[in-house]
Structure 1
Amino acid sequence: MASAVAHTHLVAHTYHMDIKPSNILVNDNQDVVLIDWEQSGATKWMRAPEIDGTLHAEEMSSPSGSSKLIYTKYSSLPPQPNPDRKGVVDLWHEHCPKAVEKAEVYMLGKTMWMLLQQVTESEAYKAYEDDEGRISWNERAEGVPREWKDVVGDCVREDPNERPGLEGLSDEEGMLEVGENLERTKIS
């Protein structure tokens, strides 16, 4: 999943913005396929908290060369970049693609949580309503390796600057190690 989303951002230079289990298929070759590319909006219980339509995103570089995302409230309605599209995500994609990437990392984390925790969409919606979308693990995820839970937890951090980037998430060597751990662990 991470590789598919990383390819979308880093190679195709676009975004999906509605990553959730029902938009993921596995083909006959066991490849993960991301479907539903209409980009009309994110499912509210899956979207990153910063995608509320009120924030301007900007990437600021420090003298040391590192960068940080800065979010500020719009004082009026955000400008529309294209009459055929709407919303802050289109603006971010054009002017601050790192903000879109970090938002999709959040949705990828929520998706991984739903799959590993075996949460239905209605349960995810209830968690959104009851707990403001916070994830939690219970006995259904007993066999899930701690490393996987840690990756999911990193992806859904409140502060986008604390979330991993897609390049790190799709790092084949790192994911292979986690995948080998999962194969040794039976998930019931």
Structure 2
Amino acid sequence: MLADIVQTGISAVEGMTFSSHTTCPACGGSLAGYDTKKKQFVHLISGNVQRTVFVSVKRFYCTKCHTICYADNPFYPDTRIGSVVIDLCIALSMTMPANRVASHLAAMGIFVNRMSCRLYIRNSSSNFVRNNARYIEANDIFGIHLPHSILSLSVLALNLSEGKHIREEDVLAACGFPSGQRTDMKHVISPEPWKIPLTRNSDEG
């Protein structure tokens, strides 16, 4: 059940393209499309098989200062996996030593090596992560700390109507990124997502 909650939320972003940006973060100038980068979001484990969930992130070129910048995306700066996975590492470290976090992640079907776990936990005091603390705030479920961001993504996935796709702004809002703060969070967050049956709504909505 716990692994289902975690993997449902994380898998929901598979194949998504993040393409939203307004002005250049360096000078405020107008942006033109540049290219799109494929980024790994998480490594999932099923039995003895490991697969990687990828997302795509558009890059822009500033017509004024020539800076190249990424669209708003669910990654912390200078990291190689999705922010919710890092949130999960940090949340688990609240109740267990860092060297046990990797094995607990594996039990949930997520692969992060021990060295990376220690690095993410050690850097959890960085300004960017600290400013996102509301989304890392842990909820104690089945005796395990889960971050708010994971639970919010799970709710998005479980409430999704058949044939519909999650919007990128909703993913950003669930992950707590500034660009997502304009999204109405009422339909993103549920206080008890672990009580929602693991089936999709068949209504077209």
* TM-score w.r.t. length of structure 2: 0.27
More strand by share: 2
Q: What TM-score do you get using the length of structure 1 for normalisation?
A: 0.29
